[in-house]
Amino acid sequence: MTDQQKPNERGAQTIIGKLSGKSITIPDVNVPPMPALAPPGVIHNGTKVENFDAIDSSIGYPDVRSFRRKFGLMIPATNTSMEHELWSIICRNQGPDGLRGVGLHTATVTTPTPRLETEEDLRAYKKQFLGGLRAAVDVAALAEPQYMIMGMSLEHIIGGIEAIRAPMMDIEEYSGLSWATWHDAVHAALGKYGAKRIGILTPFDKNGNASATQMFDELGYEVVSSVGFSCANALHIAHVPDPAKEKAILELLATDEHKLDAVVQCGTNMSLIDVTEKLEPVLGIPILGINAVTFWYALRENGFEEPLVGAGRLFQEF
């Protein structure tokens, strides 16, 4: 991790995001006494232990597992994939130059009606998700995260990049924290490769893919080809088998005719890191899955610059 950090008078740190160039405030979550001990302090068989000096009340001890960064992760309640993929990246990179000391602290947005079969269903899902964001942020805040990750493809439920950015600006202000978002992350990743012609893979239906295409078009990319699995329920997205994703990428997206610069995958409940690891060496172009790319962005913004394994070439090359 690079030493970009500047303590201020409150103990917080200001860093400059490597990808965004923005100032990011990292709150001090270890203000002494941490941990605070209730009177009479450390006890043995119910009696105060005198001169127990292994915990100094003047010191702010870090979280034993998340001592380098506490990331908050916000996902829909039906999402069973994103947290798993992000932890797999952390666990595969526990060496001295890896992600030891990085933790995820997840809160879910309640989406009690996850059907996605009709336009009316999608409008209801949008209302549930956006309406539940603040309550989920309040839950996440109980773990005192230092930086947040948005685990949702907002282009599925919102049309247009400015309309996508609006609720994120609101929730960033509400939370008082900086956030990694898919639209920022994928734009940064595609920029690293100089990619312009892309194919997109999603769990969305025709309308969802049109909205995703609109977002990429407004960000300056040409969606040459798109595949959507038209999942009728948000929970079911996690059950799309990897062979189906591979077939879609190989036979419908990354063809000689399309001459793609990259394959891009939307939908955080659709796991892709194993497919990415398998197919990138075959295709010779990057496969940018939403979960890995958004986490890559969060890590790089927070100064974690080391090459990482197990999540595709993006983590190795940039």
- Percent of the chain exceeding pLDDT 90 equals 85
| Burial class of residue 27 in the structure, from the number of CB atoms within 10 Å of its CB (0-12 exposed, 13-18 middle, 19+ buried) | middle
- Based on the fold, state whether residues 85 and 211 are members of the same structural domain: no
Out of 134, 158, 182, a domain closes at: 182
- pLDDT at residue 223, as a whole number: 98
- pLDDT at residue 128, as a whole number: 80
Domain boundaries, position 17: 6-182
Q: What is the mean pLDDT of residues 23-29?
A: 96
Helix (H, G, I), strand (E, B) or coil at 136: helix
- Residue 234's closest CA among 73, 79, 75, 85? 79
Helix (H, G, I), strand (E, B) or coil at 73: strand
- pLDDT score of 290 more than 90: yes
- Residue 186's closest CA among 40, 286, 282, 87? 286
User: And the tokens for 14?
Assistant: 């200001």
As a whole number, the mean pLDDT across the chain is 93
pTM, 2 dp: 0.93
Q: What is the CATH number of the domain that holds 285?
A: 3.40.50.1860
- Based on the fold, state whether residues 224 and 159 are members of the same structural domain: no
Out of 182, 214, 243, a domain closes at: 182
The CA–CA distances, whole Å, from 124 to 115, 121, 157, 266, 300 equal 9, 5, 10, 20, 35
The CA–CA distances, whole Å, from 309 to 245, 249, 273, 299, 318 equal 21, 22, 11, 14, 12
Helix (H, G, I), strand (E, B) or coil at 53: coil
pLDDT tens-digit map of 33-82: 999 999 999 999 999 999 999 999 999 999 999 999 999 999 999 999 99
Cα 247 to chain center, whole Å?
Answer: 26
| Count of C-beta atoms within a 10 Å radius of residue 201 | 30
Between 132-136, 278-282, 310-314, the lowest mean confidence (pLDDT) is in 132-136
- Based on the fold, state whether residues 160 and 26 are members of the same structural domain: yes
pLDDT tens-digit map of 147-162: 999 999 888 878 899 9
Q: For residue 131, name the pLDDT band (cuts at 50, 70, 90).
A: confident
Out of 163, 182, 201, a domain closes at: 182
